[in-house]
Structure formats: structure tokens, C-alpha cells
């Protein structure tokens, strides 16, 4: 699924790049990079709700 999303974004970038000047495309890539960093940091943030630790099963 990630390959399909990357291919879609790449083809959209080529299409949009045909209509926008190079400085606008650079700004768009910078904004998308900042957005990716924000989403990545959000994914690494621990959850706010604390759960009870689950005991491990005894294999003996």
C-alpha cells in the first residue's frame, strides 16, 4: 500500500509541476516535508491514557 501511495504522490507531483513554477514546487515540497515531520512526531508520542500492565503468561 505504501508503494501505491508513493506512486500516486509522485505522479501528482509531476502533474502539478507542469503548471507551477519551480519556486512554488520547492515551497510545496518544504510544506509536505514539515507536515511529514509533524505526523512522524505525533506517531512517536506516547498515548495519554495509561493502561494497566498485562501480566505475561506462564509457559510452565
Q: What is the pLDDT of residue 6?
A: 86
Please choose, from the candidates 35, 33, 28, the residue with its C-alpha nearest in 3D space to the C-alpha of residue 14: 28
pTM above 0.85, yes or no: no
Q: What is the pLDDT of residue 19?
A: 94
Query: Is the predicted pLDDT of residue 11 greater than 90, yes or no?
Result: yes
Query: Is the predicted pLDDT of residue 13 greater than 80, yes or no?
Result: yes
pLDDT (tens digit per residue) in 42-59: 988 877 666 666 777 666
Report yes or no: 25 and 16 within 8 Å, Cβ to Cβ. Answer: yes
Q: What does the H/E/C string look like for 14-47?
A: HHHHHHCCHHHHHHHHHHHHHHHHHHHHHHHCCC
Q: What is the pLDDT of residue 45?
A: 81
Amino acid at each position: 500500500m505504501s508503494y501505491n501511495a508513493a506512486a500516486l504522490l509522485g505522479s501528482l507531483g509531476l502533474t502539478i509541476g507542469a503548471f507551477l513554477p519551480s519556486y512554488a514546487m520547492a515551497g510545496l515540497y518544504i510544506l509536505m516535508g514539515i507536515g511529514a515531520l509533524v505526523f512522524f512526531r505525533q506517531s512517536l508520542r506516547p498515548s495519554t491514557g495509561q493502561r494497566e500492565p498485562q501480566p505475561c503468561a506462564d509457559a510452565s
